[in-house]
Chains A and B, each alone.
Chain A
Amino acid sequence: MLVLNFFLFRILPGDPERTLTRLQRVSPSTIDEVKKELGLDRPLPIQFFDYLGDTARGELGVSYVFSRPVSEVIADALWPTIMLVGVATVGATVIGTLIGIWGAWRRGSAIDTASLGFGLVTYAMPEFWLGMLLILGFAVALDWFPTSFMSTPGLTDATAGVHLVDTLEHLFLPALTLVLALLGEYALIMRSSVIEAMNEDYVTTARAKGMREALVLRRHVVPNALLPVVTLAALNLGFIVSGEITVETVFSWPGLGQLTFRAINGGPDYPLLQGLFLLFSVAVIFANLVADLLLGLLDPRIGRV
């Protein structure tokens, strides 16, 4: 894992090199100045170490778009993203898993087929389109929810309670969009995992002991069925990141995704993009580690670290 991390860093310094050669079309004299300032006239390995050092110290450069240090910009946008992703992931995992179990238990029934179809369709949908549809439907047509942003302007003096409700109101649609987008895959994987587990011998043993079906399901099937789901969910993290970026864009949710969008279109803002890329990659690697650990905890057959 650490090896991967290392390689990750290697690619990034390559970017400023290339981006600056494109900037060369701007004007030669400014280029020299900029180069000196950014220390790019020094040989590449030294650049790389500089970069590492800077990054370690939290100095990620200055954003073009915002004219503020990148680290600040990112820090501001961090919490909203965590909130959105957190709620959505938990929601999608829980609901998806439950649907998957139910579908497997009542295999072949109308509900099962319906949920399979539903999962298939949501998988095929670009999540930002879904988001836009939801806005159209619920926010514009029905006016049940606000259309964008995280809070209603002008509420700065209100009490904490009102703030909370307001935030939740704003959170609902984007969270719903993400949940729907992620849901299908979890449900599908859980379903096939449960079906597979139900065919195992220990289920026969459990039934032979005189256990009711529902109990067999709960105590023996589900714990075993969850294991492959954790692994697969970890692999899906990249998808969560992409979904989150587009959903934030659609809803103008002030998080990292929205930041990414503005970084692309307002520039492109290379320092900011680099910083974001770094953060995303680190986050995914970290999440993978967590998933591995979780699996180690859940499955006694895997040697503890």
Chain B
Amino acid sequence: MSARAVRRTRRIQAFRSSAGLFVRNRMGITGLAILIVFVLMALFADVLAPEARLSVTNAPGAPLQPPSARFWLGTDELGRSVLDLVIQGSQISLLVGFLATAISMLIGALVGIVAGYFGGWVDVILMRFTDWFLVIPFLPLAIVLAAILGRSLFVIALVIGVTTWPGTARVVRAQVLTLKERPYVERARALGAGDRQIIGRHILPNVFPLIFANTILVVAVAILTEATLSFLGLGDPFSVSWGSILESAFAEGAISLGAWWYLVPPGLCIVLVVLGFTMCGYAFDEILDPRLRKR
């Protein structure tokens, strides 16, 4: 078989065995199940909770009603079904979470690989830069950036991405440093392979599982951060996300009115989704690092 074919079969085998381990891991499967539910919810949001029902001016129900047969989760201050709001909210919350994570991972992985691989002063400068970002408390930074750049979903995603990439960069760099010393890299270099080739063929594929596991955990953080930013009023005022639902609830005094149906569901969704990602992330950690596996 050609070298490439051998590599591919090996990768498929590795993937299959990891997948097998994952399935047997209770935490991972539970996490995955939760996530599937929510992703489906987000994908079919427009069907399950049509936009029309969420119209601000033409709300279907009376304001702030507790759950009833017609409105399973009650209504908000405008008379809209909270259930509908929550379902719709999943779209934005998840979307922003993924987008932010993509940004974060891209920057983080890039910085990590470049710093780790090239070393020297490139490494020092990049790491100083990373450390600086790590030290700055992210929320104030996020607030200032969002306040300046305006209130839109993209800005939020950008802000989250910009404040979370250092963690990934560090982890990736550490991995690249160990990989760099491996014999096959030396061999490749002795054979005259260029930097790009080495990175592409040898380093990237081995760093990838780590990046993947990290990504999962970053998504969880991103979703939490989005909720926080929306709650504080930095989100897009025209879109519905779980954080913004909580913002409205808070602003309308849902607490003092005892309108628990308005407050509990969005938060609960956040908790479940974050838990889902975290559990999957831990499951992956266990697969990647056999030391963590239970005997």
- A residues within 8 Å of B by Cβ? 3-4, 7-8, 15, 18-19, 120-121, 123-126, 128-130, 132-133, 135-136, 140-141, 147, 235, 237-238, 241-242, 245-246, 249-250, 260-261, 264-265, 268, 270, 273-274, 276-277, 280-281, 283-285, 288
Contact = CB atoms under 8 A, between A and B. Distances in A.
Contacts of A3: 128
A128 B233 CA distance: 13
B233 A264 contact: yes
Contacts of A120: 275, 278-279
B258 A140 contact: yes
21 contacts: A3-B128, A4-B132, A121-B271, A124-B270, A124-B274, A126-B227, A126-B246, A129-B246, A132-B267, A140-B255, A140-B256, A147-B255, A238-B137, A242-B228, A245-B140, A260-B140, A261-B232, A280-B140, A281-B135, A284-B135, A284-B136
A136 B260 contact: yes
A7 B231 CA distance: 30
A198 to B, nearest CB: 15
Interface string B227-258: 11001111000000001001001100001101
A136 B148 CA distance: 34
Given A235-B134, A238-B137, A124 B271 contact: yes
A126 B147 CA distance: 21
B79 to A, nearest CB: 21
Nearest to B282: A120
B288 interface: no
Given A126-B267, A245-B232, A136 B135 contact: no
B139 A245 contact: yes
A136 B255 contact: yes
B144 A274 contact: yes
Contacts of B71: none
Task: Choose among B227, B232, B233, B278 the residue with the greatest number of A CB atoms under 10 Å from its CB.
Answer: B232
Contact of A124 (B141, B143, B256, B275): B275
B263 interface: yes
Given A128-B246, A129-B263, A250-B250, A270 B147 contact: yes
Contacts of A270: 147
B137 A241 contact: yes
A273 B278 contact: no
A260 B143 contact: yes
**Interface residues of A: mostly helix, strand, loop or mixed?**
helix
Interface string B137-167: 1111101100110000000000000000000
Nearest to B227: A126
Interface of B: 128, 131-132, 134-141, 143-144, 147-148, 220, 224, 227-228, 231-234, 243, 246, 249-250, 255-256, 258, 260, 263-264, 266-267, 270-272, 274-275, 278-279
A140 to B, nearest CB: 5
A3 B138 CA distance: 19
Contacts of B227: 126, 129
Given A19-B148, A124-B275, A281 B232 contact: no
A246 B228 contact: yes
Given A120-B275, A121-B275, A241 B139 contact: yes
B144 A126 contact: no
Given A4-B132, A241-B139, A281-B136, A128 B231 contact: yes
Nearest 10 CB-CB pairings of A with B:
A129-B267, A242-B139, A124-B274, A238-B137, A241-B137, A280-B140, A268-B147, A124-B275, A277-B140, A124-B271
Contact of B144 (A129, A245, A249, A277): A277
A224 to B, nearest CB: 20
B209 to A, nearest CB: 21
Nearest to A250: B250
A73 to B, nearest CB: 16
A18 B148 CA distance: 7
A238 B139 contact: yes
Given A132-B263, A238-B139, A273-B147, A264 B232 contact: yes
B250 A273 contact: no
A245 B234 CA distance: 14
Given A245-B139, A270-B147, A273-B144, 18 more contacts: A15-B144, A120-B278, A120-B279, A121-B271, A125-B271, A126-B224, A129-B263, A132-B263, A147-B256, A238-B139, A241-B137, A241-B140, A242-B139, A246-B231, A260-B140, A264-B232, A280-B140, A281-B136
Nearest to A256: B140
